[in-house]
Each structure stands twice: as structure tokens, then as C-alpha cells.
Chains A and B, each alone.
Chain A
Amino acid sequence: MIRLSGRLRSALIIGGQGIRARKTRTLLSIVSLFLGVLAVVVVQAGAEAANQAALADIELQVGKDGTRMMYVSPEKAGAMAAALETLKGRSDAVGVIGTSATIGEPGVNPVNPGGAPFDRQAGGPDYYYGGGPGAEMICDERGCRPVDKAQQAEQTPNGQAIELRLSALTGDVLPFRPYRMKSGRWLDFTKVPSLSPGIVVNLEAAKGFARYQVPAEMRIYGVSTNATPRIIGVVDDGVPMPTAYTRVDELLNWVPASSLDMMGGVETLLAPDAYAVEQTLRARLVGLGVPAEQLRADPVNARKAIEEQLRLVRLVFLGIAGLVLLIGVAGILNVGLATVGERVEEFALRRAVGTPRTLLAGIVLAETLLTGLFTAAAAIGVASLALKVVGSILSGRTPIPLDMEFPWQAGVAGIVAGLVAGLLGGLIPAIRAARIPIATVMRA
């Protein structure tokens, strides 16, 4: 063990001396290797960034990995009310119901009919929310029927109102969907529900409110009385449509029980270990006649799905980076062979004073491995700096969050690439160094 340690130390000391003695060559080796290692680092960093960006979106819109999702259909009367009551006040499970609402002047066409994003043409959100054309229904004393939007638009004047998706929550959804607060505060579920619903709007809705001056009057779909909402915060929820979040209990102050079952079901988010509440919910719903097989709690497994999607792309790009790295390896190999050729006497002399062949090979490998490590450090530094610069320049201009930290996986990939390149580039020179005949010093 001591001998091994001594050899390792000797190799590092002598290798370090060799690098210091041939700074220009070391620099040239680093230059030849740099692009290859940088390519590996960038591909890995890019893959991680894409992974994180995709994962972040999915976490916001679907849920964190491990979250279990159960859908409670409104088909059975009382099922939604039972679900909301079961989930109320719980921290390990949250129920979400959705409806559409219009905030602004009453009796006018909103500036974004159908709850479309403000910079797009109307009609967009139907697809986003899964409804499709004709999905929006209107119910009155004559029964329920699809809304004839064209006719509706012709009959009503245009005005200052914003249509948005209203998501009502039984509890704090942030542990399941980590919306990023942009301003104000999130919903407080500990207080007594207010008759003036507090709402947190997303960035798109906030854009609409900033652009259009609308009065604070909220018309909720299927409700005859208008509420006065209070906007208490803005979040980034990854949703491109204008959306608002409110407490279920504050919404239900305005929604009659008879309208509740028209709201399209309860999306239930369960913590990975929330089996007790799941059993209770299941039992109550089955008791109401909901078929047990409809009550499936499917876990979110976004990371695995994304990684599988990105694996092929990552492999292709890593292959290209590997080719660039090979060119660098050829460069370091060339420099290594030339250097060993020049150091024949030194290696023969070292053998004469008792240096074993393995250590001579180790010295050459130590030099190329250290060169590979220096290159990796330089490539990681440049990539990290570039990420910061690009992030600061493009911040807010792309949907991908560019303010991310430099991924450690890219650093590890860079170090591994540097070491592998050093090993490949140094192997043949190391073997040659070990084979230099010792008698060279005698014949000189």
C-alpha cells in the first residue's frame, strides 16, 4: 500500500515537473482538447437544462414526481360535494375544481373570448383545457345547451372584461405544483373564507389586467350573482392561458350547490403517502355509487418520461461531442508521442536510478491526465460563465428558465471526458516510455 502510494505520489510529482517544464506544449494539448471537452459539457448542460425546463413545466401543470392524481367525475350527484368536503382543510391532499369566469364590465364580450391568451387569436383555450369546440355549455330554465359563440358575440357589445379560467382549491396546492410567486402573496387557507374571493392570477392574466382597465366584478359561469374579487398575488404557473386561483370555500359562497355538479369534476392531488384520505374518499364516493374502478390514483412520473424522451437526443449529441473529443485526443496523442521522443534520455536515466517501467508509464499518464483535468476545469469554467451570460441576455425572452445553476452532471461529464481523453491520449506514449531501453544512457 505504501509502495503504491509512493508510486502515485512520485508519478504526480514528476508529472507536475514535466508539465511545468513544457508549458507551451501543455497549453497546446489543452487547446486541442478544449473543444471536445467543452462540447461534452455543453451537451450535458443543455440536456440537463432541457430536462429541468420540461420537468419544471410538468411540475407546474401536472404535479411533482410521486404526486398521485385521482379524478372525481361529476356524473354522480353529490360526488363533487363529498370529495370537496373530504379534502377540505387537508395538507396531504388537495381538490381542484375549474370553471370559467369573466372579470370586468358585465354583459359585454370579453377582450379575450374563450379565455384566450391576450396576444393570440380567440378560441385557443378550448383545446388547452380539453374541451374542444362546442364544449362550453349554457344552462337556464330551458335546460343545458352548447353556447353559440358567434351568436353570443353578435348579440353582446364588446367591452372591458377579461375571461379567465378559475381554479378553486380545497387547500394549498403549492406542495404539489410549485407555482413561482411573482408578486403579492399566495392564498391563505387558515383564515375564515371571505365573501369577496381572494384570487391569485397567473402571469398571462396579470398581463391582461395590466393592459386593460377592468372593473372588479366577477361573473362566474353558471352563477347568476356577480362577486367582487380581490387580486392578492401573481404566480408563474406555466399556463399560457389567463388563469386565476381561489379558495373553494370562497367560490362556493357564490356558487349554488345545484351548479356545483356542472363544474367538470374534482381533480384530486394526493401526497405519495396519503393513503388514509384516499381510502376515506374512495369509500365515500363508492357509497354514493361511483364505480370503484373509476377511482384510480395514478402517480406522476414525469422525470422518467422526460429522461426517456431526451435520451436519444442526448446520445446523438454526445456522439457528435465524442467525435470532437476524439480529434482532441489525436492532438494530445501527437504531442505526447513527440514529447516522449524528446525525453528518451530522461526516461532511460530514470530507469537507471531504479524507476520501474510502470512508474515511467504512470508519469506520462499523470501528465496527460492532469492536462485532461486542466482542460475540463477550463471547459467547465467557460460553460458556466457562458450559461450566466446567455441567461442574463435572454432572461425573460424564452419560455425556458435560463437562470438555472450550472448542472453538476455537466461538470462530472466534463471531468470524465477530460480524464478519458487524457487516458486515451497518454496510453500509447506511456507504453513507449516504459519500453525505452535503459542502455540508452550508456550508448549516449
Chain B
Amino acid sequence: MTPLIELDGVTKTLKGQQEPRTILSGVDLTVQAGQSVAVLGRSGSGKSTLLSIVGLFDRPDGGAYRIDGQDISRIPERKAAALRSAEFGFVFQRFFLLKHLSAAQNVAMALVNGQGWLPRRQRRAKVMAALEQVGIAHLAKHRPAKLSGGEQQRVAVARALVRQPRILLADEPTGALDTETGNLVIDVLHEATRQGRALILVTHDWDHARKMGRVLRLEDGTLHDVDEYEHAPAEVAA
């Protein structure tokens, strides 16, 4: 069976003002549809860089990146934008809600992106369905300032789900939330995998990670499977 996501020896070196720094030095990763993967790792280990490459924000320096067996390592930005719109949903640590828009309009942002056009009524139906899915349809008209942190993150999750993507990428989505609210958001994301979506969750939180089907640790630029019994939470959180 062709994996949904396949990274094969992916490398990435960041070239800033300082010395070039190799962040990923041969990452191999395979994710099937409906599978959830947690990526743990120390700060600066390259988790976000990995997610940037998987989410087509950035391109790998070496190796291959395939979706449905198609190599997309070098696709042009125009096609990458279309793929991001069609196949990916993103949830970030900060919610990135636009304060001048209502919750519904923030969710609709993913539909009004120049990748096809939906009539207003259909757009509204999709937005309300996504908000319903995360349990905050009643807050559709509220602006972010009137929502709690958890509610804002659920709006962000609804924005990620509204196009019904096959891949969800979450970069420390609970980092700005308390434990209880964080658990709620993770449950919502995990629930999405039951509908056949793949989920890659970057987190520092072992409790959240172990809810995923597979737990990986990014260390020295490569991914390693993590056994539940081989790590201590304090180590991960460092």
C-alpha cells in the first residue's frame, strides 16, 4: 500500500548569518492515511523544520519527499500552495486568528484563498460544519478577543479541518493552553484521524504524544521510534 507521506533521507541545512547548521541529516518517515504520529525532541532539534518541509513551507536540501508516491521535493511554489490548500491542515502553537474577523470568518479564511471558489451559502455550511466538529458552532460570530485560549485554538483547528484535508500538521498546539484545555484540543485532533486523516503532532508533552499511534524522537537530525518505557517526561520537556 502506497504511504500517504513518505520522507526518504531528507536533509536540511539552515544557512543564516552564522555558520550553516545541519538540522535534518537523513530523516526517514512513513505515514499512512488515518495514522497519527507524535514527534518529540529537544528545543532546536529541528521539529518545526521537519514540519515546515512536510507542510511544503520549505523544501528539503536532499532526499525525497513523496505524497501518494509522487515526489514533491522540488515542486514550484504555485503547485505547493495548491497542495497546501487541498491536502494539509495546519495548527500552530499560537492560534493566529485575525482579530478583526469573527470565528466563522477566521475559519472561512482557508476557503477564500484563491484555490477555487465556493458560493457564500456552501462556504457557510462548510464553516459551520467545521465549527460543529470542534464543538464551538455557537461561537461562530464571536471575535477572537471574546474567546478563551482553548476556544481560539479550537477555531484554529476548525480552520485546519474546513477543507477536509488528508493531512493534519500540528506544531505544539497545546503550548499556550492549560492541561485540561490542551487535552481537549488533542482529543479533537486525534478524533480527526478516525476519519482517515493522517496527523503529525510536534509536541513536548509525553501525555499528548502517547495518545498518538506512533511516537518518534528527532535527535541529531534523524528520527527514532520511542518506546514508552525508555524515556522520562522530564527529559522530553527539557
Contacts and interface: CB of A to CB of B under 8 A. Distances in A.
Interface of A: 2-3, 5-7, 9-11, 13-14, 17, 20-21, 345-346, 349-359, 362, 438-439, 441-444
A441 B170 CA distance: 12
7 contacts: A3-B115, A7-B114, A351-B81, A353-B113, A356-B78, A356-B81, A442-B92
Q: Chain A interface secondary structure, helix, strand, loop or mixed?
A: helix
Contacts of A10: 112-114, 117
Nearest to B105: A17
Interface stretch (B60-68, B94-102, B228-236): B94-102
B51 to A, nearest CB: 7
A346 B98 contact: yes
A439 B23 CA distance: 15
Nearest to B109: A353
A349 B96 contact: yes
A439 B49 CA distance: 9
B39 to A, nearest CB: 14
A355 B78 CA distance: 9
Contacts of A11: 114
B52 interface: yes
Interface in B140-177: 159, 171
Contact of A354 (B81, B94, B98, B117): B81
Contact of B57 (A356, A359, A438, A444): A438
A21 B99 CA distance: 9
Given A5-B117, A10-B117, A354 B84 contact: yes
B117 A353 contact: no
A14 B112 contact: yes
Interface residues on chain B, size class: 20 to 34
Contacts, number: 93
B221 interface: no
Contact of B85 (A2, A21, A353): A353
B113 A350 contact: yes
Contacts of A439: 52, 57-58
Contacts of B88: 354
Contacts of A349: 96, 109
A350 B98 CA distance: 11
Contact of A442 (B52, B78, B116): B52
B82 interface: yes
A353 B159 contact: yes
Contacts of A438: 57-58
Contacts of B188: none
Given A10-B112, A17-B100, A354 B85 contact: yes
Contacts of B101: 17, 21
In this complex, the member of B58, B93, B100, B114 whose beta carbon has the largest number of chain A beta carbons within 10 angstroms is: B114
Contacts of A352: 55, 57, 84, 90
Given A352-B90, A354-B86, 5 more contacts: A3-B117, A5-B117, A355-B85, A438-B57, A443-B48
A88 B78 CA distance: 78
B218 to A, nearest CB: 15
A441 B82 contact: no
A346 B106 CA distance: 11
A17 B159 CA distance: 18
A345 B57 contact: no
A357 B81 CA distance: 9
A234 to B, nearest CB: 62
Contact of B81 (A2, A3, A355): A355
B191 interface: no
A358 B81 CA distance: 11
B190 to A, nearest CB: 22
**Shortest beta-carbon contacts, A-B, top 3:** A354-B85, A6-B117, A21-B100
Nearest to A354: B85
B187 interface: no
A3 B86 CA distance: 14
A419 B186 CA distance: 48
